[in-house]
Structure 1
Amino acid sequence: MWAALQRLPFPLILQGIGAVSMFIPAIHAYQLRYLFTARAFLYSGLIFSVLFVMLAIALSSRDRPARVRGQLLGLTGALVLLPLMLAVPFREALRDTSLTHAWFEMISCLTTTGGSVYGIRLLPPTLDLWRAMVAWMGGLLFWVSALAILAPLNLGGFEVISTDVTAAGRQALRERRSGEAGERLWRYTQSLAPIYVGLTLVLWFILSFAGHAGTTGAILAMSTMSTSGIVPGTLDDLGLASEMVIFVFLFFAVSRLTFRRDYVTRERGDILRDPEIRLALVLLVTVPGLLFLRHFVASIEAEETATVAEALRALWGAVFTTLSFLTTTGFVSASLEEARTWSNLDSAGLILVGLSLFGGGVATTAGGVKLLRIYALYTHGVREMELLVHPNSVGAAGSSGRRLRRQGAFVAWIFFMLFAITIAACTAALSLAGVDFESAIVLSIAALSNTGPLATDAAAQPIPYSGLTPLARAILAMTMVLGRLELLAIIALFTRNVWRS
């Protein structure tokens, strides 16, 4: 049976998984006696499951093996069309909404952006659970796709460190490109899915032990692992204990080495020597320090007094929020909100925007430019300044380090420029769609970095997605897909080598 499933088109497999997953909210709604919601998910799950079986039978006899090109095209199409299917039970359960609103909600969840068109509106618990489930499945999808689809094409950040000048690098290239595309996808799913599911269950158990209800703990656990930042509408505060637990699990979005050995060099190495971890630790020291100093100076000027405990809570809030936005999750600590009250300062929105642009690690659920690309540009800049002082010096760090500073930095710079151009294009398109300039910039960065909470936490005034025009929401939806796949992957679809492979 598994061999037959491997031969099915990639989008059809995703459609089947989405259809089967609808039965979980149906059971949840039935337990809570939301019978109308339960019927909406049950009937939708049955209809789409039957549709999947019919299509699978019709396509089961095809012998043509799946290719990376087809899977990349399928992944792109699935991100646009699959949310339509996932939006059907959501639309049926929430009778006073439209299908376009539900489609935007699902595409925001599937890309792990987490922006909600419903704002602070209290949705039924089952719909909050469904949003978190879609985001969680999207996180697992991109965890696996990064290694099974993007890595063989040297995309998704792997182009910065991929090398064939060492024995380990050549072995990694052969392993990433070995076998058919469907076999690789199944192999990485078997390897990564148990880790992803296990970490989510552990976090869910700890959050439940910390005092959260079962549904709330599950939503927070799935939102943390998928870096979607989705929280139930009834939750006002995460709580200090929950923030500390979530803080630890957010590190799985900083570097792929936190959950698996390096798929590029095939070496385990020391995790503290990983450039993504080191850069994240530097940011976790400097950015919270600047935020705390900002609030401290403002409180002195305003002649406000604060206890040592309040100051420590403010510092913790800055640390937690920094890591949250660095991983493009978007949780804001309640302690940071308290710091704003005694310092009389608004949110440091520009800093949060910058952290989201940095993004998390390669082959993780985080979005943004990615820390590895930032590190490559940094090492290149340091080396160029060394050459200004000592023009004849020879750089250290071996052949892999030299490649990171040269070819890696070159590709990272190209990606950074494409990223900036995309932000400018999206901002212009949103402005033409009736959005003011400042809001257009924040929304563009929020969509392209897959950090939906930026719209409410980074702007001077919260920007409701529900107040946007349908055209503006469609532009943001396409930008979310572009940010999740990365522009280099879209460009790769039009290259001759991909179509010839």
Structure 2
Amino acid sequence: MNFRTIALPIGRLLLLISLLMIIPAIADVFAENPDWQVFLVSALVLGTAGVLMTMAFHGENPPENFREALIFVNAAWFAFSFAGSIPFFFSGLGINFTDAFFETASGLTTTGSTILTGLDHLPPGILLWRALLQWIGGIGVVAIGIWLLPGLRVGGSQLFSLESSESTTKPYGHVGPFVYRLLVLYAGLTLSCLALYQLCGMDFFDAVVHAMTTVSTGGFSTSDQSFGQFSGTSVYWVATVFMLSSSFPFLFLIRSIERRQAGSDAQILLLLIIVTIASFSVFLLERFIVLDTPFHMFTLATFNVVSVITTTGYAANDYLQFGPAVVAIFFVLTFFGGCSGSTSGGFKMFRVAILTSYVQSLLRRLIRPHRVLEPKFQGRRVSNSVLEGILVFAVLYAGAFAGFAIVYMMLGLDPITALSASITALANVGPGVGDTIGPSGTFQSLPDLAKWFLAIEMILGRLEILAGILILTPDFWLE
């Protein structure tokens, strides 16, 4: 195991972080907020560390085998999380390092859980830094690392497949052309979302922040009210469209734009079906409780459903006040997530589709034992290796959810909060259910140890569990 090959890209990532910190520093300079000094000094320190690491390990080959790629994936997320915590810790927020790390990890993993209150009165640098963390996290620290490492070939495709769950490791023959198209698409979606938000009445700063956190399906906002600060219905529909678009497979979007995509994608269809059913269910249930125009109620219901299922985490209102049935719907939606190869977290729709097909084939064989029925996805037979991997992932996913929930209960959280906190961190959703961590609450009051476990669970969920668990197995470290 050559750890020098891992240190080189980590150094380049530190350089990237330091450059990003200049942006909120400039925002604070214009706002005459003293935190610009914190961002500038942090940028200089991290930039110096990045330069020294890059020079020290210059000439090393980038990670090319599976194990080195796996270590780099984990090291990149934790290194970025620790480095990104520095401005939060030394700023005027007055928070401890636990809270700073939690906020950073939540941003980079596009979870959207927060420990901050009084967002309406925070300086622009902090708000912009939170949005930048989510925007970078949405495209993926690992994908950015591939872009910065032009010499990466086989390892590059491994890294990107680990991060994005994209089964097609080389859709364009080489990683470079695909990453280029990915970045162009991501930037295009962000700019389009920004322009439409401004047309809907947002000021420029709010539009910038929310465009970045919408397209990244992150959910950080500039107000404690989240999207409830905005009036009218048009802004909610713009957000809904872009949240859904960002939860579609990016390879599908790229090929559709290039007119290379034939037919539909089964996981997109499944996502839209679930969104439709859940939106109408929430709308019908709320009609018995809320006095409002039907269209406005349906708009908010759809917005909240899409926000949760795409793991964005915005809130238009406190939907948990509409009765236990609505709470149950949103709790179940937390488990699903968006499509594979998107910025969304969660279990992912392609796994739901394949497991559903597998269960159907089992039930049919029970009725007619002599029939030969195999699970299929988009009309194609699912290989045993793929099915085995999904079943293992499902078991690990359920085990991680239950295991972390037990830890949170042992740390003093009530069962509802513990279960909700566990799945919202693992699925990278953001708000949970209950009075403490619901849409109108924050994670501030949780014990510090619980916040560390939640931050680790967020990163584990962003790496889709396997990438984090494999490095803990003894066999991984054996030559």
TM superposition score normalised by structure 1: 0.81
CA 1:287/1:64 → structure 2, altered by over 3 Å: closer, same or farther? closer
Is the Cα contact below 8 Å between 2:421 and 2:437 reproduced in 1?
no
Is the Cα contact below 8 Å between 1:439 and 1:459 reproduced in 2?
yes
TM superposition score normalised by structure 2: 0.85
CA 1:10/1:349 → structure 2, altered by over 3 Å: closer, same or farther? farther
Counterpart of 1:108 in structure 2 is 106
After TM superposition, list the pairs within 5 Å mapping 1:466-481 onto structure 2. 466-481=444-459
Could you tell which deviates more after superposition, 18-27 or 79-88?
A: 79-88
Aligned amino acid, residue 438 of structure 1: I
Q: Deviations over 1:10-63 (max 9, x none)?
A: 2222211111001011111111222x1112112221222222222211211335
Aligned amino acid, residue 76 of structure 1: N
Paired residue for 1:333, among 312, 316, 333?
A: 316
Looking at structure 1, the residues matched to 129 and 401 of structure 2 have their Cα atoms a distance apart, in angstroms, of: 30
1:372 matches 2:350: yes
Q: Deviations over 1:271-305 (max 9, x none)?
A: xx311111011112211122122223x34xxxx8x
Counterpart of 1:276 in structure 2 is 267
Looking at structure 1, the residues matched to 145 and 363 of structure 2 have their Cα atoms a distance apart, in angstroms, of: 34
Is the Cα contact below 8 Å between 1:143 and 1:363 reproduced in 2?
no
Q: Displacement, 1:380?
A: 1.4
Aligned amino acid, residue 217 of structure 1: A
Task: List runs of 5+ in structure 1 lacking aligned partners.
Answer: 1-5, 163-171
Q: Displacement, 1:90?
A: 2.3
1:290 matches 2:289: no
After TM superposition, list the pairs within 5 Å mapping 1:329-408 onto structure 2. 329-334=312-317, 345=323, 348-395=326-373, 401=379, 403-404=381-382, 407-408=385-386
Q: Displacement, 1:351?
A: 1.6
Q: Deviations over 1:171-225 (max 9, x none)?
A: x56x37977xxxx4x5543231121112111211221222111111111101111
How high is the sequence identity, in percent, across the aligned residues? 27
1:415 matches 2:413: no
Is the partner of 1:112 in helix, strand or coil?
Answer: coil
Q: Displacement, 1:253?
A: 3.1
CA 1:129/1:400 → structure 2, altered by over 3 Å: closer, same or farther? closer
Paired residue for 2:205, among 200, 215, 236?
A: 215
Paired residue for 1:251, among 230, 244, 268?
A: 244
CA 1:426/1:65 → structure 2, altered by over 3 Å: closer, same or farther? closer
Q: Displacement, 1:142?
A: 5.6
Counterpart of 1:119 in structure 2 is 117
Is the Cα contact below 8 Å between 2:374 and 2:382 reproduced in 1?
no
Number of residues paired by the alignment? 460
Looking at structure 1, the residues matched to 294 and 32 of structure 2 have their Cα atoms a distance apart, in angstroms, of: 45
Q: Displacement, 1:66?
A: 4.2
Paired residue for 2:187, among 173, 197, 208?
A: 197
Counterpart of 2:40 in structure 1 is 42
CA 1:150/1:409 → structure 2, altered by over 3 Å: closer, same or farther? farther
Could you tell which deviates more after superposition, 136-145 or 206-215?
A: 136-145
Counterpart of 1:3 in structure 2 is none
Give the structure with the larger helix fraction. Answer: 1
CA 1:125/1:65 → structure 2, altered by over 3 Å: closer, same or farther? closer
Counterpart of 2:27 in structure 1 is 28
Q: Displacement, 1:472?
A: 0.9
Looking at structure 2, the residues matched to 99 and 396 of structure 1 have their Cα atoms a distance apart, in angstroms, of: 51
Looking at structure 2, the residues matched to 448 and 492 of structure 1 have their Cα atoms a distance apart, in angstroms, of: 17
Aligned amino acid, residue 442 of structure 1: S
Looking at structure 1, the residues matched to 429 and 328 of structure 2 have their Cα atoms a distance apart, in angstroms, of: 14
Looking at structure 2, the residues matched to 100 and 202 of structure 1 have their Cα atoms a distance apart, in angstroms, of: 36
Is the partner of 1:9 in helix, strand or coil?
Answer: helix
Looking at structure 2, the residues matched to 244 and 400 of structure 1 have their Cα atoms a distance apart, in angstroms, of: 29
Aligned amino acid, residue 109 of structure 2: T
Paired residue for 1:436, among 394, 414, 417?
A: 414
Is the Cα contact below 8 Å between 2:85 and 2:100 reproduced in 1?
yes
Is the Cα contact below 8 Å between 1:7 and 1:60 reproduced in 2?
no
1:315 matches 2:298: yes
Aligned amino acid, residue 100 of structure 1: T
Could you tell which deviates more after superposition, 455-464 or 385-394?
A: 455-464
Is the partner of 1:465 in helix, strand or coil?
Answer: coil
Looking at structure 2, the residues matched to 64 and 155 of structure 1 have their Cα atoms a distance apart, in angstroms, of: 16
Is the partner of 1:360 in helix, strand or coil?
Answer: coil
Looking at structure 1, the residues matched to 60 and 458 of structure 2 have their Cα atoms a distance apart, in angstroms, of: 33
Q: Displacement, 1:120?
A: 4.4
CA 1:436/1:146 → structure 2, altered by over 3 Å: closer, same or farther? farther
1:260 matches 2:258: no
Is the Cα contact below 8 Å between 1:456 and 1:464 reproduced in 2?
no
Q: Deviations over 1:341-388 (max 9, x none)?
A: xxx647822222211210111111111110000000111122233334
Task: List runs of 5+ in structure 2 lacking aligned partners.
Answer: 147-153
Aligned amino acid, residue 230 of structure 2: L
1:485 matches 2:463: yes
Is the Cα contact below 8 Å between 1:326 and 1:355 reproduced in 2?
yes
Looking at structure 2, the residues matched to 44 and 332 of structure 1 have their Cα atoms a distance apart, in angstroms, of: 32
Looking at structure 1, the residues matched to 9 and 415 of structure 2 have their Cα atoms a distance apart, in angstroms, of: 39
User: CA RMSD of the aligned region, Å?
Assistant: 3.4
Q: Deviations over 1:449-483 (max 9, x none)?
A: 11112257896795531111111111111111111
Q: Displacement, 1:407?
A: 4.6
Aligned amino acid, residue 314 of structure 1: M
Q: Displacement, 1:67?
A: 3.7
Q: Deviations over 1:114-152 (max 9, x none)?
A: 111113454222211100101111111168389986964
CA 1:119/1:423 → structure 2, altered by over 3 Å: closer, same or farther? farther
